[in-house]
Amino acid sequence: DAGVTQSPTHLIKTRGQHVTLRCSPISGHKSVSWYQQVLGQGPQFIFQYYEKEERGRGNFPDRFSARQFPNYSSELNVNALLLGDSALYLCASSLVGIGNTEAFFGQGTRLTVV
Amino acid sequence: RKEVEQDPGPFNVPEGATVAFNCTYSNSASQSFFWYRQDCRKEPKLLMSVYSSGNEDGRFTAQLNRASQYISLLIRDSKLSDSATYLCVVNGGGGSYIPTFGRGTSLIVHP
């Protein structure tokens, strides 16, 4: 069975550009969460979606947005990229939309903003 | 005070040693707790959930102390393959299920 898949795996963008990151959850999982991890820190929660509805939002600016599609895949969009947006972006899927269940992470998208 | 705090380490121990990590959290209403393991440049993977009564999985023991608001992870008989970063995760509190990760504790097991 396929795990959580993210694309692309690596990405280089310039300041001011826009980026879209994609995530496909494990089959049967209806919840997708997005995290940002900078070097030396733990993952920081950005968004959680369950059944195509936003269920949680972390402390990130409005430049960050996301959505979940009918097949439960998800996109994370970041506008007006800043150098500080350089990080590993992780997607996690879980069976249900509450945080008490195990989350399975994808391998991440490593974004570099230059 | 950070919501979830961990000593970043690194903890440098010989094979066979016993090592313990603590993680403190600030929200007394937090409802669920986990330990994740993250290898270098890889994604986090669930190591174990932490239950109120404490739980054990082989060489790993997790405990929760709600009164003092910390969770712990004990690793016995350390193996070289245990070298990784260990992340604690705290969920919930105040009607929210937003998970909060600690910054992680680095463990290096040497021969």
Instruction: State mean pLDDT over A53-65.
Output: 93
User: Tell me, what's the pLDDT at B29?
Assistant: 86
Is A52:A31 a contact under the CB 8 Å cutoff? Answer: no
Highest mean pLDDT among A32-41, B26-35, B84-93: A32-41
User: Tell me, what's the pLDDT at B98?
Assistant: 75
Give the pLDDT confidence of B44-99 residue by residue, as tens digits.
999 999 988 889 999 999 999 999 999 999 999 999 999 999 999 998 765 566 78
Q: Is B98 in contact with A48 (Cβ distance < 8 A)?
A: yes
The interface residues of chain B toward chain A in range 31-50, judged by CB-CB distance below 8 A, are 31-32, 34, 42-46, 49
pLDDT at A99 over 60: no
Q: Which of B12, B3, B34 has the alpha carbon at shortest distance from B78?
A: B12
Is A42:A88 a contact under the CB 8 Å cutoff? Answer: no
Residue type, B39: D
- Beta-carbon-side half-sphere exposure of residue A104 (alpha carbons within 13 Å): 18
Closest Cβ opposite residue B45 in set A55, A56, A105: A105
The size of the A-B interface in CB pairs under 8 A is: 56
Torsion of CA B20, B24, B30, B34, to 10 degrees: -30
In whole angstroms, give the CA distance from residue B18 to residue A71.
Answer: 45
Q: How many CB atoms lie within 10 A of CB B36?
A: 24
In whole angstroms, give the CA distance from residue B27 to residue B38.
Answer: 24
Q: Which of B7, B41, B100, B33 has the alpha carbon at shortest distance from A42?
A: B100
User: Tell me, what's the pLDDT at A100?
Assistant: 60
Give the pLDDT confidence of B33-54 residue by residue, as tens digits.
999 999 998 999 999 999 888 8
Phi/psi region, residue B29 (left: phi>0; alpha: psi -120 to 50; beta: rest), is: alpha
Q: A14-23, A63-72, B21-30 — which is least confidently predicted?
A: B21-30
Closest Cβ opposite residue B96 in set A35, A41, A56: A56
Give the pLDDT confidence of A67-76 residue by residue, as tens digits.
999 999 999 9
Residue type, A107: Q
pLDDT at B1 over 90: no
Top residue of B3, B47, B97, B105 to mutate, by most chain A CBs within 10 Å, is B97
In whole angstroms, give the CA distance from residue B77 to residue B85.
Answer: 17
